[in-house]
Amino acid sequence: MTNQNTFEPNQDDDSENSNFEHANLELESRQMQCPYCWETFEWVCDDSDESTEMIEDCPVCCRPIHFKKSDSFEFGEQSHWEALSEDDFYE
């Protein structure tokens, strides 16, 4: 019996989606702290993306965390992200 929730890519598929694994992603894993429940969790972001703001729910308390990238980092260094509550973000 085949599990319907399992994705098995077709090796002969020439579509754009089959090349997703070759995309130029710069995934970075960071330890972040939720501004609501104060739990620490692992957060993965794509530093090659030019976005300076992201919103994701806390994996513990499910409240929306606003991630904001700081502009003050040197070339070649890992960018700095802040995890902010809605109140802190919109101040």
The token pair at 83 is 């995890």
Q: What is residue 5's predicted lDDT score, i.e. its pLDDT?
A: 44
Q: What is residue 36's predicted lDDT score, i.e. its pLDDT?
A: 96
Task: Give every residue of the chain whose pLDDT is below 50, as ranges.
Answer: 1-9, 16-20, 22
- Model confidence pTM above 0.85: no
Q: What is residue 19's predicted lDDT score, i.e. its pLDDT?
A: 46
Q: Render pLDDT for 18-39 as a digit per residue (tens, 0 to 9).
A: 444 545 677 888 899 999 999 9
d(CA 68, CA 45): 12
The CA-CA-CA angle for residues 81, 86, 27, to 5°, reads: 30
Q: Are 58 and 52 in contact (CB under 8 A)?
A: no
